[in-house]
Chains A and B, each alone.
Chain A
């Protein structure tokens, strides 16, 4: 019930979220010999090299064969290991959806899907690799927990939390360096939203890389004398319905933002709660129903409208609709 209130965030550095995963993987592996890791030829991209070096026997290089990798992980989990399976989000969801469905989710195996390079911020490699539908795919699967942490420290903590939870978990993180502003010692609880700013005029729900942009929007709005509440939904499933409803009954309008297509992700998850329990105006700052393209992450965020300015504009618009 209680949302953690973290009012102070001081950015000392920019770091990639995937390194938060890699660091946590190594730390938990040192404490728990059941942790094993699998990768399909992307070890350094996933920041799994330190694990592979320190625990060569517990690291399985599968080669470029993601379907086989999911099956092997399910077999290891059957025997009591906790496999972390690493690849790009694109190759760890759509490419192997049926494998995940059958031998992980339906079979209720304790497999952790560590998906890097999610979203448009993957950048120059282009739309072939920029999956924007992965949350929708994973969220639709029964038994699957879906985490989308917002910075290095939160990804570190999400990885540890995933290892301590029994069951399938999808952890989504990214490639670029982004502000690292949450507390390394935060109390990360799966399924519990985090309120970064309290406000009364509008609630901004944000996940992943969009959380920092939501905080920048909060500052823009503050200058306009608009009091925005900023809530970080790091767990998209199971979603923190209580915290969401507690906030919206106060602010009575909503902006949802995510680095994902507008269909099937956080926008839909929150819409579902609103129309069922508390129908109020909502606006969405997410990827439209289209593919991305090559470019630098910031250029892509700008071109596809995933910016703090767009979030602030959406907030002003939705307040008028109250």
Chain B
């Protein structure tokens, strides 16, 4: 799949995100928009998966865990457009009797979802468990996990980082959505993460950086990340993104972490994101 094709899909994912959250009157547009390029590239370019035949155990395929579950809108859009379920179902997001819960949960049997996330700090541990299971089963596929940067303030993340480094869980690629913002403001002001690169190195991970809003850079860096699996260290990518990327008035504004756009704002946002594929 070409860069242009990926860009086309990720623009539609952004459009889906705005329409889903506006439609529900609730949701998290900022991080969803920021991660649309990465999630699109991951699912359409890199992951070896069987969307039409979803199996919980993920044997014989790559597995992805969304630890920052609040950006579910972007993930659901990518899952639907990759073929896990009908794009029509995106209209049920956050509504009563929907499989598209506010935060992802396997309790609703939505194909693609393997664990309940959204209570932050837990997805990395689960991904480690899946990676260990793959080693036990001699299943040569990879486990990916996306973490928020604010989420790194949770202590469990550092338990998991320590474990994966110490136990050489080298079939695992973690990606940090490093947008520098969280609910209460700038991550540096709420509780600074400090020198993340040095911290990950100290925990014995192989560390990469990329621009998460530049698909070319994502492709290039992901290739390096994958090449470096199986070499005794887990891999982590510090992915610089812009919260709200693609909608000018949402960009770099933490207000849009968890606020839905009103009707006027929705229209303005959608004007900036013309449809590239069929709308749901």
Neighbour of B116 across the interface among A65, A75, A107, CB < 8 A:
A107
A30 CB → nearest B CB, Å: 17
Residue in chain A with minimal CB distance to B56: A78
Report whether B163 and A79 are in contact in the complex, using a CB–CB cutoff of 8 Å.
no
Kindly provide the distance from the CB of B132 to the nearest chain A CB, expressed in whole angstroms. 6
Tell me how far the C-beta of A195 lies from the nearest C-beta in chain B, rounded to whole angstroms. Answer: 36
- Closest B residue to A101 using CB positions: B119
Minimum distance in angstroms from B160 CB to a CB of chain A: 5
Are A102's CB and B116's CB within 8 A? yes
Determine whether the beta carbon of A78 is less than 8 Å from that of B132: no
Least Cβ–Cβ distance between A198 and chain B, in angstroms: 42
Provide the A64-99 mask, 1 if CB < 8 A to any CB of B, else 0: 010111111111111111010000000000000011
Partner of A57, one of B59, B115, B136, B156: B136
Q: Is B80 an interface residue (CB 8 A)?
A: no
CB contact between B133 and one of A79, A101, A106 (< 8 Å): that residue? A79
Given contacts A78-B130, A107-B107, contact A65 B122 (CB under 8 A): no
| Contact assessment for A80 and B125 in the assembled complex, using a CB-CB cutoff below 8 Å | no
Residues of B within 8 A of A98 (CB): 119
Is A63 an interface residue when CB atoms closer than 8 A count as contact?
yes
B130 touches A63 (CB 8 A): no
Contact pick for A68, options B56, B130, B159, CB 8 Å: B159
- CB-based contact B116/A79 at 8 Å: no
Chain B residue with the shortest CB-CB distance to A36:
B136
Q: B122 — which chain A residues lie within 8 A by C-beta?
A: 67, 71, 99, 102-103
Tally the A-B contacts, defined by beta carbons under 8 Å. Answer: 112
- Measured between C-beta atoms, what is the minimum distance from B145 to chain A in Å? 10
Q: Taking CB as reference atom, which chain B residue is nearest A98?
A: B119
**CB-CB contacts below 8 Å: B32-49 with A:** none
| B57 contacts A by Cβ under 8 Å | yes
Residue of B nearest to A60 (CB): B132
Inter-subunit contact B115/A108 (CB<8 Å)? no
Name the residue of chain B whose CB is nearest to the CB of A142.
B107
A82 CB → nearest B CB, Å: 11
**Residues of B contacting A77 with CB < 8 Å?**
129
Is residue B196 contacting chain A, with contact meaning CB distance below 8 A? no
Q: What B residues does A76 contact at CB under 8 A?
A: 129-130, 132-133
Alpha-carbon separation in the docked complex, A109 to B57 (Å): 11
> A75 is contacted by which of B59, B105, B125, B137 (Cβ under 8 Å)?
B125
Q: Are B136 and A74 in contact (CB under 8 A)?
A: no
The answer to whether B125 and A71 have CB atoms under 8 Å apart is: yes
CA distance A304 to B166 in the complex (A): 44
Asked whether any CB of chain A lies closer than 8 Å to the CB of B155, the reply is: yes
Give A62's nearest chain B residue, CB to CB. Answer: B163
Q: In the complex, are the beta carbons of A75 and B119 less than 8 A apart?
A: no
Task: Check if A79 sits within 8 Å of B130, measured CB to CB.
Answer: yes
Asked if residues B136 and A75 are in contact (CB atoms below 8 Å), the reply is no
Whole-angstrom distance between the alpha carbons of A271 and B62 in the complex? 49
Cα distance A75–B163 in the bound complex, in angstroms: 14
Residue of chain A at shortest CB distance from B157: A68
Interface assignment of A241: CB less than 8 Å from any CB of chain B = no
Interface membership of B127, Cβ < 8 A: yes
Partner of B134 from the list A36, A63, A79, A101 (CB cut-off 8 Å) is: A79
Q: Which residue of B lies closest to A80 (CB)?
A: B57
Please tell me if A317 contacts chain B, counting CB pairs below 8 Å.
Answer: no
Q: How far is the CA of A71 from the CA of B136 in the complex (A)?
A: 17
A65-B159, A65-B163 are contacts. A71–B128 as well, Cβ < 8 Å?
Answer: yes
Instruction: Give bound CA distance, A70 to B116, whole Å.
Output: 13
Contact bitstring B156-184, A, C-beta under 8 A = 1, else 0:
10011011001000000000000000000
Question: In the complex, are the beta carbons of A73 and B129 less than 8 A apart?
Answer: yes
A residues 133-152 near B (Cβ < 8 Å) are none
A interface footprint on B42-66 (CB within 8 Å = 1, 0 otherwise) = 0000000000000011110000000
Contacts of A67 in B (CB 8 A): 121-122, 125, 155-156, 159
Q: In whole angstroms, what is the CA distance A70 to B159 when docked? A: 12
Q: In the complex, what residues of B have CB within 8 A of residue A106's CB?
A: 105, 107, 116
B90: Cβ under 8 A from any A Cβ: no
Interchain CB contact under 8 A, B115 and A107 = yes
Instruction: Say if the beta carbon of A15 comes within 8 Å of chain B.
Output: no
Q: Mind listing 8 A-B residue pairs with CB under 8 Å?
A: A58-B136, A68-B125, A68-B156, A71-B125, A72-B132, A76-B130, A78-B126, A79-B57
Which residues of B approach A to under 8 Å, CB–CB? 56-59, 105-107, 114-119, 121-134, 136-137, 155-156, 159-160, 162-163, 166
